Amino acid sequence: MCGIVGYVGRRSAVDVVIDGLRRLEYRGYDSAGVALVADGEAGGLEVDKRAGKLANLEAALADHPLPESFCGIGHTRWATHGVPSDRNAHPHLSADGRIALIHNGIIENFAQLRAELESDGIEFASDTDTEVAAHLLGREYVMEGNLTEAMTRVCSRLEGAFTLLAVAADDPDTVVGARRNSPLVVGLGRDEYFLASDVAAFIAYTTDAIELGQDQIVTIDRSGVSVRGFDGSPSEGKPFSVDWDITAAEKGGYETFMAKELREQPQAVADTLRGRIDESGQIVLDEVRMSDQDFRDVDKVFIIACGTSYHAGLVTKYAIEHWTRIPCEVELASEFRYRDPVLDRSTLVVAISQSGETMDTLMAVRHAKDQKARVLSISNTVGSTIPRESDAVLYTRAGIEVAVASTKAFLTQLAACYLVGLHLAQVRGIKYADEVSAVLDELVAAPGKIAQVIEGLEPVRQMARDCALNGGSGGGRVLFIGRHVGYPVALEGALKLKELAYLHAEGFAAGELKHGPISLVEEGTPVIAIVPSPRGRSLLHDKIISNIQEVKARGARVIAVCEEGDRITSAHADFVIETPASPTLLAPLLTAVPLQEFAIEFATALGRDIDQPRNLAKSVTVE
């Protein structure tokens, strides 16, 4: 939700800031803006901001370049308060025009502050919550004469979630930032310093970084970095080094980041498993700061997550309950804390979040910790807030995922969750050693099978284009059905199509269809069925074949994702996508992939923006 960048150094600030915004645009793309402090004695602020994607701002800057500057801030917005427009775009200025400020988050007491400022005669130039912070900072700066002091005083008045960056017209050497609940990292270059929502913004210049803690204020100038608490006391961040380079944040010859990331899945899953299974077949989860005894004490598991990560959690429930016999509930993080779940010290809460910053999940984690539950997070972002506030963490190793729609994050979350489930089974002695090893062998074989699925995607692409271009038939919707772990895969397939193609797509438990949703089926409606393995005379398989017949009888065009060689399914479906044989519980690692490609191709045929679908942002840092 909103990308922010700040820079002080020896390079052209506008170039560094725009470059950073380009890499952060996945966080929001409703508008973009920059503020630079002109170099030299006179200083002065130069601001440009435009509604729409960053390209609009870049075009404006090409027409009217800003004066030379080595100090600046920039913002790419996901709108919360106020429509996407030039006037609501950040930066916002203080009433005297001497301070420019950008913000990620929501200032919850903005209405009260706005009323107070308006009663003092201040006129507002936007509908945003952010502008109150700009005016307060302007007022404090006049009194304090020091941006860091002024920011400290302003933070004591704000409630909610905010990362703020500010520059002052008469200080061409300083950017001040503040962080509460929304991400902010510092990049350490040689005689140059960066502030950003995410390291991707400055990875082209440095891999040395500092992670800021909760309620900290940071000041960068040409001589270095200083950190203090909101109470003004000296503090420090946590240094770390970024272990991927700029090529990971480039498209590498693909049309879209999503197409590239889909094809990185075999490697990402292999990387997530790497080093986590020792030679004797024991699962070794080094970063997990929970002892075997802690895992033995668990008598209930709650999984909390949002969106795609929630779907990974739904798959995990089947695996954990089957492998460990521990009851497992999965809950949308945004609902969790509001219904007063029953938690105690022997409850294990697994929080799944690619970004590690999703506010709904973070708040659910805090609630779980308040109730004394142990929290294990599964995240792709080292040093992000959710892992930092958890008792234990297992990192997926998907590398940076730029496309808003998740692909490799999902598959690596599944891999990490399977490891957690099998680890629980191992330490509790629920399964024989050879049973666990058999699953682990299959897990280790999964990357090769995912690669096989990817190699066979061409027919899926053609079929998806055909479906998209014949969207007029079938009620203009696509339904996804599945049973058991195929059900969460159906939900994920529908989410991918919804977010990319802006089309009514819905996933159902196949058995539930006849209880209502089957009325959505009409002549030509595409119904994508995730079919479990037919091996071992699977009851599940028989049941979904019946469900396929039910929709076919009502005119559906059935597309089946099934195991290779499944002749029964091929006899009933209009189009078949085969995946390699896999144990039932691990099948989502394979069956989700063609649905990702289906969504990309379907949406491409409709001319949609694949990497930046409308109204969305990758990292949702508001509740």
With H, G, I as helix, E, B as strand and everything else as coil, classify residue 578: strand
Residue placing its CB nearer to ligand M6R in the complex, 158 or 393: 393
Residue placing its CB nearer to ligand M6R in the complex, 131 or 211: 211
Q: Are 347 and 329 in contact (CB under 8 A)?
A: no
Q: Are 225 and 216 in contact (CB under 8 A)?
A: no
d(CA 177, CA 585) in angstroms, rounded, equals 46
500 C-beta neighbours (distance < 10 Å), count: 28
For the bound state, the minimum distance from the C-beta of residue 3 to ligand M6R, rounded and expressed in Å, comes to: 14
* Active-site pick, 2, 306, 417, 562: 2
For the bound state, the minimum distance from the C-beta of residue 227 to ligand M6R, rounded and expressed in Å, comes to: 26
Q: Are 358 and 310 in contact (CB under 8 A)?
A: no
Residue placing its CB nearer to ligand M6R in the complex, 51 or 620: 620
Q: Are 232 and 218 in contact (CB under 8 A)?
A: no
d(CA 362, CA 360) in angstroms, rounded, equals 6
Residue placing its CB nearer to ligand M6R in the complex, 404 or 440: 404
Q: What per-residue string of b and e applies to 19-28 under the rule 16 or more CB within 10 Å gives b?
A: bbbbbbbbbb
Would residue 306 show up in a list of annotated catalytic residues for this protein?
A: no
Would residue 618 show up in a list of annotated catalytic residues for this protein?
A: yes
Residue placing its CB nearer to ligand M6R in the complex, 546 or 615: 615
Q: Which residue from 275, 315, 582, 264 is spatially nearest to 451, judged by alpha carbons? A: 264
Whether the ω angle into residue 91 lies within 30 degrees of 0, i.e. cis, is yes
Taking the CA atoms of residue 615, residue 619, residue 621 and residue 622 in that order, the dihedral angle to the nearest 10 degrees is 20
Where on the chain is the footprint of ligand M6R (CB under 6 A)? Answer: 306-309, 353-355, 358, 361, 404-406, 495, 499, 618-620
For the bound state, the minimum distance from the C-beta of residue 411 to ligand M6R, rounded and expressed in Å, comes to: 12
For the bound state, the minimum distance from the C-beta of residue 14 to ligand M6R, rounded and expressed in Å, comes to: 30
For the bound state, the minimum distance from the C-beta of residue 354 to ligand M6R, rounded and expressed in Å, comes to: 3
d(CA 236, CA 227) in angstroms, rounded, equals 5
Residue placing its CB nearer to ligand M6R in the complex, 9 or 307: 307
Q: Are 492 and 595 in contact (CB under 8 A)?
A: yes
* 502 Cβ contact list (under 8 Å, min separation 6): 603, 606, 608, 613, 614
For the bound state, the minimum distance from the C-beta of residue 360 to ligand M6R, rounded and expressed in Å, comes to: 8
d(CA 327, CA 202) in angstroms, rounded, equals 44
Residue placing its CB nearer to ligand M6R in the complex, 19 or 492: 492
Q: CB-based burial of residue 85 (10 Å sphere; 0-12 exposed, 13-18 middle, 19+ buried)?
A: middle
The size of the chain, in residues, is 623
For the bound state, the minimum distance from the C-beta of residue 445 to ligand M6R, rounded and expressed in Å, comes to: 26
Q: Are 137 and 99 in contact (CB under 8 A)?
A: yes
For the bound state, the minimum distance from the C-beta of residue 74 to ligand M6R, rounded and expressed in Å, comes to: 23
Residue closest to ligand M6R, measured at CB: 307
Residue placing its CB nearer to ligand M6R in the complex, 70 or 336: 336
For 546, left (φ over 0), alpha (ψ -120 to 50), or beta?
alpha
* Active-site pick, 49, 317, 496, 618: 618
- Cα 367 from chain centroid (whole Å): 21
Q: Which residues are catalytic?
A: 2, 618
